[in-house]
Structure 1
Amino acid sequence: MSKSIAWRLALAIALTCALVLSVIGVFLYRSLASELALRDDQALLGRLEQMRALLHDSDSLEALQARPRLYQNMLGNQDSVLLVNRQDGGQVIAINPHQQALPTLPPIAKDRAPQRADIQTHDATVLLAGMAQGPAGETLSVMVGKRLEEREHILARYRLNLYVAIGLGTLLAFALGGLLLRRGLKPLHTLAQAMRGINPRSLDQRMPVDNVPSELKEPVQALNAMLARLEDSFERLSQFSADLAHEIRTPLHNLLGSNSLALNQSRSPAEYQDVLASNIEEYERLNRMAENLMFLARAEHGQRPLHLHPVNLQDVGQELCDYFDALAEDRQLRLDNQLHGTLTADLHLLQRALSNLLANAVRHAEPGSTVRLLRRDEPGYCWIGVHNTGPTIDPQHLNKLFDRFYRIDPSRAEPGDSGGLGLAIVRSIMHLHDGQVRVSSDDSGTLFELGFARA
């Protein structure tokens, strides 16, 4: 229960309702207490005014003393106090049902109307004292009062009712909140059941989005997008495993075949040297493949740090042209370096990426054509490209050229071939630079470009 979201939310709802009900209860309680106090104070003020009028209009004090029931009926209950005294301290009227000790209060002048500020509280009793004019102009002191037991009793019952109402309201909010939340979270259980049915063999399944609440549509859509990425990655991984096995199997078969032939019969030292030289080529091919795979793994996990600094593009292009000049001359090609300006990048990674592109361009260019290193500036990006004139690449291959081990013609494996990893390394290098790669091919030739974001 402590780990249930529904019960936690229900508890939060119940606590919120308890807080709201408590605030409302305090407000209502104070409002009632204020109204009761105002009622008692107004009654006390009116009672003093009545006694002043009654004493002023009476014929004699003896006549008032002879009718005590008149005052008791006027007071109306056993919690009222009424004292009328002469100046010499003699009592005219003394109604004090509980015989409580009353303090001596300074009376207000007889010509001033009493106000609430004149009322004082003593021993759970509100008291008001004032001067009055009796028969024949005699000056009298009047004290009226009322015990607060009835008010406190009313407020106590009201407090009890508030406690009960707040407690029941909190329990009801907790129960209803838990019930409604469990019903509202049913789509999550449905999604969980659908997710349980997804395994590596059914990554093409997607979460239903038609009947889910609007608040869950965006997470479900994000989950479906993640499943699509997982499906694509899983397919790429499966294809990568198959391609890797195929790429490794070929040199291993060559090594096994050549060694078996060499061991089947005696050969001359020159023939053994030829076998060893052939084996070394296959070992170098396997070594290049292992190094390239290691570089790709480190690049994808961010383990290859970047050393960024301004690079002179013309110098980089000239060095690459000088390096590939002999190979280009063998293929009757010309190299044209049109790079210029500077670029902030990792020099070694930039050289490796351009070297891979230039090697592909030289390998596939038509004899007698020119391979060019180009620079184009666009808003936000600097594009460095390698252009060659050769066979047009079918559009269906363009989006796959940067995948690992992908070849348009798998049979064309030449010495020094990267094993289908060269363009994949180029894309990893650009990802490290937060850049882009793109390729276009038409009748005018094929152009591979590296896009570096401008600062």
Structure 2
Amino acid sequence: MVNLVIFWSVLVSLMISGLSSIFIVNRGLSPLKKFEHYLTKISPGRLNIRIPTQELPVELETLSKTQNAMLDRLDLGFQRLSEFSSDIAHELKTPLSNMTTQTQVMLSADRALAEYQDTLGSNLEELERINKTINDILYLAKSENSLLYQNNEMLNLSEEISRLIEYHDIAGEEKGVSIHLKGQGELFYDKSMFQRVMNNLFTNAIRHASPNSIIQVIIKQLDNELSIGVTNHGDTIPKESLPFIFDRFYRADKSRVHTNSVGAGLGLPITQSIIEAYGGTILAKSFDRSTEFWISFQKIT
């Protein structure tokens, strides 16, 4: 009889203990199940969902915040990819449509030789613009993924920039714009990449400079840092546009009217990617009809 009582007592105790354990485990796992519930809702088309940290215990708060931060980055990346796809489609569609229309018009009736030559010349300009856009996109992709070959050497900046200024003086003369250089310094850098950076900055400065104005180039060499500034007087970049001027295809005026330039809004993104590939930074300021671009590098000791 005693053994039977002991048996049932042990059995009941085990059942109570088991049920209690199940209850405690389920209660303890409840936050994780809630965490899992929100994660299962997330998909490429629903990256706006966030895990409510206030509904989770302190132990999971850091994890949920980290997860939300990752989702923020993914959401931003998908948005930029979508915008980039739309922009590149627009950039290529416009010249292709122009060439198609011109070709159809020329084929609709017999034309004089001069008309055919004019149309072919116009189509060639459009093809050159498309080719430059594609090359810039490929260059930008390589730069952002550290795939550019770097042949670094010590550059005398005043000499290199002076040669580039002579090249851009021709374009500046059309607007009465001149480029003045002040300062000197040395930089361990790839020569072709440095030339591309400065060419992009000079082209941008001349394009937006007022007629008969001066573009100022300043080299500042400090103990631990070297900076180069390019300042033009003319168009002011709107304050709300400054954070986006290094985005691909972005134009502050939002207009996409093609002029004689074959650019496609990729010059500044390429400039930024090259500079950042070397651990440098680029900063833009614009106020009172004056725009400054400053690039800075930490000196190698």
Is the pair's TM-score, using the shorter chain for normalization, greater than 0.5? yes
Find the aligned partners of 2:25 and 2:245 in 1 and give their Cα distance: 51
Q: Structure 1 pair 230/291, CA: closer, same or farther in 2 (3 Å)?
A: same
Q: Structure 1 pair 187/306, CA: closer, same or farther in 2 (3 Å)?
A: farther
Q: Find the counterpart in structure 2 of residue 137 from structure 1.
A: none
The total of aligned residue pairs comes to: 283
1:354 to 198, 213, 221: 198
Find the aligned partners of 2:272 and 2:247 in 1 and give their Cα distance: 9
Find the aligned partners of 2:298 and 2:29 in 1 and give their Cα distance: 45
SS of 2:111 mapped into structure 1: coil
Q: Find the counterpart in structure 1 of residue 133 from structure 2.
A: 289
Find the aligned partners of 1:454 and 1:178 in 2 and give their Cα distance: 63
Q: Find the counterpart in structure 1 of residue 286 from structure 2.
A: 441
SS of 2:231 mapped into structure 1: strand
1:298 to 124, 142, 149: 142
Q: Structure 1 pair 412/319, CA: closer, same or farther in 2 (3 Å)?
A: farther
Residue pair 2:184, 2:221 contacting (<8 A) in 1 also: no
Letter matched to residue 400 of structure 1: F
Q: Find the counterpart in structure 2 of residue 372 from structure 1.
A: 216
Q: Find the counterpart in structure 1 of residue 173 from structure 2.
A: 329
Aligned positions of 1:235-246 closer than 5 A: 235-246=79-90
TM-score of the superposed pair, with normalisation by structure 2:
0.87
Confirm or deny that 1:417 pairs with 2:257. no
What RMSD in Å do the two structures reach over aligned CA positions? 2.3
Find the aligned partners of 1:211 and 1:254 in 2 and give their Cα distance: 57
**Long gaps (5+) in structure 2:** 1-16
Residue pair 1:387, 1:445 contacting (<8 A) in 2 also: yes
Residue pair 1:388, 1:445 contacting (<8 A) in 2 also: yes
Q: Find the counterpart in structure 1 of residue 13 from structure 2.
A: none
Find the aligned partners of 1:174 and 1:315 in 2 and give their Cα distance: 83
Find the aligned partners of 1:288 and 1:444 in 2 and give their Cα distance: 30
Confirm or deny that 1:254 pairs with 2:107. no
Confirm or deny that 1:187 pairs with 2:31. yes
Q: Structure 1 pair 378/199, CA: closer, same or farther in 2 (3 Å)?
A: farther
Find the aligned partners of 2:275 and 2:34 in 1 and give their Cα distance: 42
Find the aligned partners of 1:266 and 1:444 in 2 and give their Cα distance: 51
Confirm or deny that 1:431 pairs with 2:287. no
Find the aligned partners of 1:175 and 1:367 in 2 and give their Cα distance: 85
Find the aligned partners of 1:218 and 1:330 in 2 and give their Cα distance: 59
Find the aligned partners of 2:40 and 2:206 in 1 and give their Cα distance: 52
Larger Rg: 1
Q: Structure 1 pair 439/198, CA: closer, same or farther in 2 (3 Å)?
A: same
Residue pair 1:317, 1:339 contacting (<8 A) in 2 also: no
Aligned positions of 1:378-389 closer than 5 A: 380-389=224-233
SS of 2:240 mapped into structure 1: helix
**Long gaps (5+) in structure 1:** 1-172
Alignment deviations for residues 101-125 of structure 1 (CA, whole Å, 9 cap, x no partner): xxxxxxxxxxxxxxxxxxxxxxxxx
Find the aligned partners of 1:181 and 1:379 in 2 and give their Cα distance: 61
Find the aligned partners of 1:174 and 1:448 in 2 and give their Cα distance: 70
TM-score of the superposed pair, with normalisation by structure 1:
0.58
* Structure 1 residue 438: Cα displacement: 1.1
Q: Find the counterpart in structure 2 of residue 106 from structure 1.
A: none
Runs of 4+ in 1 over 4 A off after TM superposition: 173-183, 377-380
Aligned positions of 1:397-408 closer than 5 A: 397-408=241-252
Residue pair 1:306, 1:432 contacting (<8 A) in 2 also: no
Confirm or deny that 1:202 pairs with 2:49. no
